[in-house]
Structure 1
Amino acid sequence: MLACTLPRDDWTHEAHLAACCYLLSARPDVDVDTEIGGIIRRFNESVGGINDDHGGYHETITRAYVAGVRLYLAEVPEADLLARVNGLLASPMGRRDWPLRFYSRERLFSVPARRGFVEPDLAPLR
């Protein structure tokens, strides 16, 4: 993903979470909070994707999952990256619908939520 060599079809939900887990676990040189949006947008564009109001990068979903991955990593014992990623994918934070615990569908999938971070309307992210 960082090198923009991952095939587009391999950029799945699971790959997003694995990349986030890797960045937070093994790349202290990457300021995830500052850089994640640019990293994902650049990757999307490198494989022909468009980041607009209807597709591509989604700020609020990304920020929710960054928070979720951080929560997961804080709860698990030290392990190798593969074990961490596999554990994350099997955890509640790894589920595709995890952000909907905190956001209504309408709010989460709105254009403002895609373009910028919006606060949850159902419960605080935790």
Structure 2
Amino acid sequence: MTDLPYRPFADDAAIRRIGEGLLARTLPRADWTHEAHLAATLWLVRERPDIDVDSSISTIISRYNESVGGVNDDSQGYHDTITRAFVAGIRLHLRGRPADEPLVEAVNALLASPPGRRDWPLGFYSRTLLFSVAARREFVAPDLAPLPAV
């Protein structure tokens, strides 16, 4: 058991299983944690250049949610602004990492860093704006500070 505020991944294969399960819509719902969201997205950005994360991430996650019985509506399921904020954080994180670094090291370092924290988007957004229906449905610009440009 770990005392860390996040659950680290054991190896590259565990991360690829999450990413591939997301794409194939075969990942068990219980495995779709905060850490899994970040790991899958980092894997997509770094190892799947055939997928345009910016134009596809909403469809990928929304369809996955529906495949496991979830609903994407005004109060649950896919949240566009939170997702896109974390994509910006992942890109910022990767910018400072060696390209040949093992995937597990890049992901676990992300989880241990500020952009890996569950509350990281609240450094850019007020709680009211971030958790609004508008922000869930589509990306809204931050109201406290700009997201990092990468």
TM range (shorter): over 0.9
- TM-score norm. by structure 2 comes to 0.83
For residues 52-67 of structure 1, what are the structure 2 equivalents within 5 Å? 52-67=73-88
What is the SS of the residue equivalent to 2:24? coil
Q: Who is 1:15 aligned against?
A: 36
Tell me the amino acid that sits aligned with residue 59 of structure 2. Answer: G
Moved more, 94-103 or 72-81: 72-81
Ranges of 4+ aligned residues in structure 1 off by more than 4 Å: none
| Structure 1, unaligned runs of 5 or more | none
Please report how far the alpha carbon of residue 75 of structure 1 lies from its aligned counterpart in structure 2 after TM superposition.
1.2
| Structure 2, unaligned runs of 5 or more | 1-21
Q: Who is 1:92 aligned against?
A: 114
Q: Who is 2:5 aligned against?
A: none
Q: Who is 1:32 aligned against?
A: 53
Pair member with larger Rg: 2
- TM-score norm. by structure 1 comes to 0.98
Kindly tell me the number of residue pairs found equivalent between the two proteins. Answer: 126
Q: Once the two structures are aligned, what percentage of the paired residues are identical?
A: 67
Distance between the aligned counterparts of 2:133 and 2:50, measured in 1? Answer: 31
RMSD: 0.6
Distance between the aligned counterparts of 1:91 and 1:76, measured in 2? Answer: 12
1:122 aligns with 2:147: no
Distance between the aligned counterparts of 2:129 and 2:98, measured in 1? Answer: 34
Tell me the amino acid that sits aligned with residue 134 of structure 2. Answer: P
Q: Who is 1:109 aligned against?
A: 131
Distance between the aligned counterparts of 1:119 and 1:82, measured in 2? Answer: 31
Distance between the aligned counterparts of 1:68 and 1:9, measured in 2? Answer: 24
Distance between the aligned counterparts of 1:76 and 1:97, measured in 2? Answer: 22
Tell me the amino acid that sits aligned with residue 121 of structure 2. Answer: P
What is the SS of the residue equivalent to 2:143? coil
